[in-house]
Amino acid sequence: MFLYKTHVFLIISLSLITVRAQDDEIFSNLIDGGLTPMQNFKADLYEVDRKEPTEEPEKVEIKLFYECLCPDCRLFDTTSLKPTVAKLAPYLKLNLYPYGNAQTTEISDGVYKFKCQHGPKECYGNRLHACAIDYLSNITATVFFNSCLMDSTRKNNGSDDEAADECGRILGIHPGQIKFCAKHDRGMYLLKHFGDESKKVGFKYVPYILINGVENDGSKFMKDVCAAFKHPPAACAQAQASFSRPPTDTSDVTTIKDKVQIKVYYESLCPFSAQFFVSQLKPTMERLGPYLDIHLIPYGHAKTRRVKSAYKFTCQHGIPECFGNTVQACAIDVLRNITRAVSFNACLLQNTSYRSGYDYFISVFHWCGSQDNVDVQTIWRCVHSDHGSVLVKRYGDETHALAPSFVPFVTIDDSTIYQDHALTNLYSTVCKLLKPTPRECPL
């Protein structure tokens, strides 16, 4: 039973944050005059060969009342809400209220102070979350940014300025306006509003979940959201395959499994691929490297065509991403060492975005090479050779054979069973699979 006595409250109902059918934009219909929204992530949910709907698709409405430093909120946000939004964003109307069990006091006309469950740091963190909701104009970007703020590995539990800066770098979001909002009147009024809405509900324990008005314990959130559709979208069918197929029983310690294979399907300018590399793949590799067989497949939702004797590519984020995919592919080929390849490619992913110009990318390329003593000249020659194109084409063939509906997409031992857990806690997922459990894993 996934219920706790404070912190997260989730209802599927009317909309504070509305997801438009074709462009996945978030709008506040209760607060006007917010910050100028950032440029939309037009490709933040990467659907292969997605066709434009001819009519408004059916949507499930969700409300989430939470507080940013609550352990249960952080667990639910990163392991249940984020994976569900990643797969079902176009079919959700999502309502986020970062306030939880706080209290509001009016100290003078139009001036408010707050007392939060986890102290002043949480009050400021809630304001960061509120301002991110107000500023970002895309459902997936908002959920991924706030989830990044709440990542369990963050120093001081996250949801502070340092976390905002780091998450901004990972996701290609400029956090300056979000932090400015949180420190000034706009953040105060937003938090006061979210408090007013929270008090109307009067929840007593969290997470408290209603899916289309029906109470839910949250333990199988994505499955239950899919069940709420009259006509479930195709993304639910793919998720259902993992719901109905239980993971292989690895409880028998006499069964030896001393290596776990991880395949990561990604693309070079996808902000969520960058987040996975930086917060999940690289840290797990650094702690469990000898027990991992990692395969990187840098292609994503690109397309390949043959022009005479050469291969040409069309990429989700345009020509810069095709170039970046080739750099990633050549680094893997030249380095011949997956630990160094993950480290170098993670550096590139973390420090570039689809807004980066060519000159900036080149400077980052050389800087990342200097961090790991990488022979960037050999990689550069590969990038500008036919061999680089052949490598990307091969990765394209492998990607098309699997046909992932989003990126990053992770398989473990060629299975998608552990997909959701791998995206949010790869280290723990791998530790549970290794038999006997190595000393590098917690008991």
Q: What is the pLDDT of residue 152?
A: 65
Q: Is 60 exceeded by the pLDDT of residue 167?
A: yes
Q: Are 166 and 149 in contact (CB under 8 A)?
A: no
Q: How far apart are the first and last CA of the chain?
A: 24
% of residues, the chain, pLDDT over 90: 53
Mean pLDDT (whole number) for 347-371: 91
CATH superfamily of 5-239: Glutaredoxin (3.40.30.10)
Q: Where are the domains of the chain?
A: 5-239, 260-433
CA distance 104 to 382: 60
Give the number of other Cβ atoms within 10 Å of residue 395's Cβ.
24
Check: CB of residue 347 under 8 Å from CB of residue 372: yes
- SS3 call for 36: coil
pTM above 0.75, yes or no: no
**Residue 249 confidence (pLDDT) above 50:** no
Q: Give the residue, 135 or 39, on which the prediction is more confident.
A: 135
DSSP states along 324-371: HHHHHHHHHHHH--HHHHHHHHHHHHHH--TT--HHHHHHHHHHHHHH
Average model confidence (pLDDT) for the chain? 83
The residue-averaged pLDDT of 62-82 equals 85
Instruction: Report helix, strand or coil for 298.
Output: strand
| pLDDT tens column, 261-293 | 999 999 999 888 998 999 999 999 999 999 999
Distance set, CA 361 to CA 315, 351, 367 (Å): 17, 8, 10
Model confidence pLDDT, tens digit, residues 92-144: 988 899 999 999 999 999 999 999 988 999 999 999 999 999 999 788 889 99
Write the pLDDT tens digit of every residue in 316-337: 889 999 999 999 999 999 999 9
Q: Residue 424: what pLDDT?
A: 86
**Which top CATH class is 260-433?**
alpha beta
Does 351 have pLDDT greater than 70?
Answer: yes
Place of tokens 């400021």: 124
Domains 5-239 and 260-433 share a fold: yes
The span from the CA of 64 to the CA of 221, in Å, is 12
